[in-house]
Chains A and B, each alone.
Chain A
Amino acid sequence: MILLRLFLTFLKIGSVAFGGGYVMIPLMRDECLTNGWLTEAELLDFIAVSESTPGPIAVNMATFVGSSQAGILGALVATLGVVLPSFCVILLVAAALRQLLRYRGVRAVLSGVRPVVVALILSTALTMFLSLTFGVGKIGDAPVFSLPGLSLFVFLCAIALLWRRLRRRPISPIFLILFSGLAGIVLFR
């Protein structure tokens, strides 16, 4: 029963995704790869589309994955699943626990969760980087080095840094995505 699977999977993701959109990426990567819903490349494409369209990345990703697996109903149950836990928690906080963050137990839990969340995002970036530019998805894979991929990555780092220096604010992700799309057409055609 794919709808139930989608709903429960995204309910699980929504309940543990502390810290917003980007935490969803490691969580969704696990679930989508394990369930065979997406390949690594499709996942990256979906993230790119979610980044370049309006709205929270997590909601966009849930809608996208749900729709790709089971059409409009899939999109609905996945989005509902990812939103429901935070809706209930916030309702509880707004109605009864206004002082939630002042409890020391809650702060202690968060102090343990925050470093884990950052670590998961970094580790996802690392494994994706290895598989994209060196072709290493797991140990034992014969490396297929991609020079255009690596040069594009280095170039993106350089323009992002330069932009920060000159404009004093981070570069727009949509600009980076558009730029890399053009570069991709030149490099990979």
Chain B
Amino acid sequence: MHYNRIENLIDKAVQDDIKISQIVIEEEIEERETTRTAVIEKMNENLNVMKESIKEGLKKDHTSASGLTGGEALTMQNSDNILGGNLYRDVVVKALAVSEINACMGKVVAGPTAGASGIVPAVLLSLAEKYDIEDEKIIKALFTAGGLGEIVSKKATLAGAEGGCQAECGVGSAMAAGAAVDLMGGTPEQVGDAFALALKNLLGLVCDPVAGLVEVPCVKRNGFAASHALTAVNMALSGIGSVIPPDEVIEAMMEVGDLMSVSLKETSEAGLATTETGRKIAEDLKDI
């Protein structure tokens, strides 16, 4: 994609009266020198992997090698006491499911990264289920998510080791929020607002994984970041804008990432990783 700013994507969409997803799809066709059918089919494969990872994550029999992860999604799915309605429950459950499968070295779609792979599928597929939205539209929304993520990767980073978790779960939440607004028929400006709102509120999030595993706090954080995206979607669709435009939020994220200590960027040298319990877990797992 040749776009380097979300602003330009929005302008183009408004000017031509099209969805952002359509721009991303057309850019993809041109860049890959292929057909629309091929591009859509490729994304459909991703959608199928996402669906499969949710299904797998809701089965009983998976535990990560460390034993720290497995069964969270199912626990919440089966609980009778979930406040906030079915959509909220679905979003969190699906994000946990994908993230559990990732922790168990199963197959996921890395979007924006594997560590943050639960958020986009959870938000889009829960909305699709609730509002009976066909796959074709989900696929289009995935292109919107992809386009937004690609701009972050060009302007800043998607690596926890470079930007902390704000660059992973933060961006995942922002991509999911923007794509969900597109899916629900919001305007291109609202896509930008939802993206900016979600990312702004996760600025500064550090990457401090216990024992260097993509498990604690990563798995549950996917659940949080997915419900967080839902809040951004509701704000944006109800007409609340972001004072700071999306591109400037991305720049701010990079600046915060640069200022963040290396010990909090996927090195497990501070934060949760070096708590008493975090250290103990690392020590116990040393030989695994």
Do A and B come from the same complex? no
Interface, chain A (partner B; CB < 8 A)? none
